[in-house]
Chain A
Amino acid sequence: MLLIDCPCCGLRPETEFRCGGQAHVARPEKPVDVGDQDWSEYLFVRANPRGVHAERWIHQHGCGRWFNALRDTVSDRFVETYPMGGKPKSTTTEARA
């Protein structure tokens, strides 16, 4: 069971959280203006890296807030967590080190 650092609540057990998949996939401002190809990419295409991955998590059974996290998909190490709308402090290269 992972230990996840909620930006509001601190370190809490994984069972309180839910993962929402890849982070930073913004809904287009005006979806009706988006072409079929781009729209299907937005809907269905997600990265699945081996290594550091930016993900969305929600502290479902805690403060109820969504946040972002950089997690290494190989080691399960959390590089950092940061609020929705924010940017990670570490660059991806640092995170991989």
Chain B
Amino acid sequence: MLDDSLYARRVSPLDGAAKPASLPGGVTVRQLKPEARFSLRVKAGAPADAAGFALDQKINSIVVRGGRWSARLGPDEWLIGGPEADAQLIAEEVEATLRDRPHSLVSVSHRNVSLEISGANAAIALNAGCPLDLSDAAFPAGSATRTLLGKCEIVLIRAGAEPSYRVEVWRSFSTYAHGFLVEAAFGLQNAA
């Protein structure tokens, strides 16, 4: 038996990052707590479910249900998230429904860091580095897509109608992405 003291604890790359208590511009930036996340790849085909989500959701959309979410990032690619404790369960459910169909399920729970930027000017702050049109018409509630933030790739998710966005970023880019969003908030200011 392994001695209790030897059990590894988790360390996030942002644990040591400077996090200003408050930001100007009516924007809040924070790190979300760890979640289970999987990259699911399935070729287009007959309707099917994976972890409780129908695969035929629109490309570049997100569906949220019961603490889990599924973002379809391309014709054959989904990013599925859920509570950390559900990791095993999600994997088993996917394997159960897609057993007979070529697919790939790979855990990316530690690859990705989740940030959240919210507040009335959140979209404008994101536009400091994200070239997409984030207006309600172009990027409404239920949108999710891979895109860019400055010089790093992100997955940008807007689940609800409120101005709150999840930014999924690879862990070694997370200090950059976090710093970029903080700086973007300062960049929102105008002459007093």
Touch between A and B in complex, CB under 8 Å?
Answer: yes
Q: Report, as a range, how many residues of chain A touch the other chain.
A: 10 to 19
Within 8 A of B (CB), among A1-21: 1, 8-9, 12-13, 15-16
A62 to B59, CA, bound (A): 11
Q: A13 near B73 (CB under 8 angstroms)?
A: no
Which chain A residue shows the least CB distance to B154? A61
Question: What is the CB-to-nearest-CB distance from A4 to chain B, in angstroms, rounded to a whole number?
Answer: 12
Contact present for A8 and B131 (CB under 8 Å):
no
Q: Are B77 and A64 in contact (CB under 8 A)?
A: yes
**B86 interfacial by beta-carbon distance below 8 Å:** no
Residues 61-78 of chain B, each 1 if its beta carbon lies under 8 Å from chain A, else 0 = 000000000000111010
A63 touches B132 (CB 8 A): no
Q: B31 at the A/B interface (Cβ < 8 Å)?
A: no
B12-20, B141-149, B178-186: which lies at the A interface?
B141-149
Q: Is A65 an interface residue (CB 8 A)?
A: yes
| Contact present for B153 and A64 (CB under 8 Å) | no
Residue numbers in A under 8 Å from B146 (CB-CB): 61-64
Given contacts A8-B74, A13-B132, A15-B131, contact A63 B148 (CB under 8 A): no
- Residue in chain A with minimal CB distance to B133: A11
A13 and chain B: residue at smallest CB distance? B131
Q: B74 touching A65 by the CB < 8 A rule? A: yes
Q: A8-B59, A9-B59, A13-B132 are in contact. Are A65 and B75 (CB under 8 A)?
A: yes
- Scoring A residues 54 to 91 as 1 if CB is less than 8 Å from chain B, else 0, what string do you get? 00000001111100000000000000000000000000
- B174 contacts the other chain (CB 8 A): no
| A61-B153, A63-B73, A64-B73 known; A9-B131 Cβ under 8 A | no
Chain B residues within an 8 Å CB radius of A12 = 132, 147
Q: Which residues of B contact A8 (CB under 8 A)?
A: 59-60, 74-75
A12 to B130, alpha carbons, bound, how many Å?
11
**What CA separation (Å) do A61 and B146 show in the bound complex?**
6
**Contacts A9-B59, A9-B60, A13-B132: A63 and B77 contacting too (C-beta < 8 A)?**
yes
Q: Given A8-B59, A9-B59, A63-B59, answer yes or no on A16-B148 (Cβ-Cβ < 8 Å).
A: yes
Binary flags per residue of B82-119, CB closer than 8 Å to A gives 1, else 0: 00000000000000000000000000000000000000
Closest residue of chain A to B77 (Cβ to Cβ) is A64
Residues of A within 8 A of B59 (CB): 8-9, 63
Spell out A's residues near B (CB within 8 Å).
1, 8-9, 12-13, 15-16, 61-65
- A-B CB proximity, top 3 nearest: A63-B74, A13-B131, A61-B153
